[in-house]
Structure 1
Amino acid sequence: MNLKENYTELLSNIGFSGNDIQKNWLGLQKAYSHKSRHYHNLTHIKDMIECFEMYSDQIKSPNEILFSIFYHDYIYKSSKKDNELKSAEFALSILPENIQLDKTLVFDAICATQLHQYNSNEDINWLIDFDLKILARDWEDYKAYFEQIRKEYRIYPDFLYKPGRAKALKHFLENEFIFQTDEFRKLYEEKARTNIEKEILLLT
């Protein structure tokens, strides 16, 4: 199933009309395909949905989490610090009145992708881990990822970007765990820490 089919099926299941599904898909596609998007694009969404499909049997509110995946980076400007909040607000703004979706969960889930910290709702922890799985890729893929992030922040010169990026990465290492679910900690924690440590060395 491709991304549009995933999206269409989800919105159909939760109560969107055919016309609204098409209109919202075009909006989503346009937002994630903007020329400034080098990493936070449809490929990132596709990767997260592959994770979601692998672990969907662990998720109590799958429609809410899948909807949150589609919209968590809808608004993305590297110069802003409220992208997740704006994305969450936008996601709720397109929901029809009679929608079969827990709006509070969607809002909280999208906002949680800003800080990626442990949440009392396990579904949100899965979403956070899907978002961060890139950190545990093989080194060449990880390198491609941080080069894409650098392009998204190209408005900042190296003397500003490098210490800022290093600080953000060190924050991950300072936490007891990068990942929030036992499954991802077991599979990916060590690899993610190794990759982050290597990138920090390149930045300093």
Structure 2
Amino acid sequence: MDLNTIYTNLLLNIGFNAKDIQQKWADLEKVYSKKSRHYHNLTHLKEMIESFEIYSNQLQNPNEILFSIFYHDFVYSASKKDNELKSAELALSILPEKHTLNSQLIFDAICATQLHAHNSIEDTNWLIDFDLKILAKDWDDYKIYFEQIRKEYRIYPNLLYKPGRAKALKHFLENEFIFQTKEFRDLYEEKARSNIEKEISLLT
């Protein structure tokens, strides 16, 4: 799967011209390839798009959700709390004047990846689940994931990082469900909870 091709086809479909697309892809690739991005990188986008391609027929607005995938982590700094908001604002700012997308859906969907809470818009629930599917990987892959997250937060000593990470993980367990769609709950809920509980035990 070639991300550039998927991105190019999407932007052509929604009203961008070819010259602009080339530059937009270069900008996106540069941002997601920063050395500081150990997890929130092009591999993460690729894995989300693999899920998107499996479930795209379930979406009311697949182009909006695919566009949101590409831009949901465009702005990412471990020390900031407004990454999703800034990413959503940037995503809308690059849309051409004449485009075919629902801008409000994109903005709300990207912002929803901050809290990963159940949403009244089902398309947004799918985006949230695509983002969180990593939580249900086999343990060896899950371990790589949380080690990558730790590297992204390397500015924080363990004294601060461990309780902060544990608190965030416990929040997932306190919710009735981690995943927002029935399909993902049936497939991944049990495994994700097991992985999270195991990681918490390593943090405390």
Question: TM-score under structure 1 normalisation?
Answer: 1.00
Cα displacement (A) at 1:60: 0.6
Aligned residues: CA RMSD: 0.4
Counterpart amino acid of 1:186? Answer: D
Task: Give structure 2 stretches of 5+ with no counterpart.
Answer: none
1:10 aligns with 2:10: yes
Shift of 1:150: 0.1
Secondary structure of 1:114's match? coil
Which residue number corresponds to residue 23 of structure 1? 23
In the TM superposition, what is the alpha-carbon distance from 1:80 to its structure 2 partner?
0.1
Give the TM-score taking structure 2 as reference length.
1.00
Separation in structure 1 between the aligned mates of residue 96 and residue 8 of structure 2, nearest angstrom? 15
Residue equivalent to 1:142:
142
Rounded Cα–Cα distance in structure 2 between residues aligned with 1:90 and 1:20: 15
Cα distance, 1:159 vs structure 2: 0.3
Which amino acid in the other structure matches residue 174 of structure 1?
E
Q: What is the CA distance between 1:181 and its match in structure 2?
A: 0.1
- Tell me which amino acid in the other structure corresponds to 2:178: I
Q: 2: distance between equivalents of 1:133 and 1:151?
A: 20
Q: What is the match of residue 65 of structure 2?
A: 65
Moved >4 Å (runs of 4+): none
Q: How many residues align?
A: 204
Letter paired with 1:119: N
2:34 aligned partner: 34
Aligned partner of 1:183 in structure 2 is 183
Structure 1 residue 119, shift from structure 2 partner: 0.3
1:77 shift after superposition: 0.1
| Identical residues among aligned pairs (%) | 76
Q: Deviations over 1:133-168 (max 9, x none)?
A: 000000000000000000000000000000000000
Deviations 1:163-192 (A, max 9, x none): 000000000000000000000000000000
1:198 Cα deviation from its structure 2 partner: 0.1
Cα shift at 1:122:
0.3
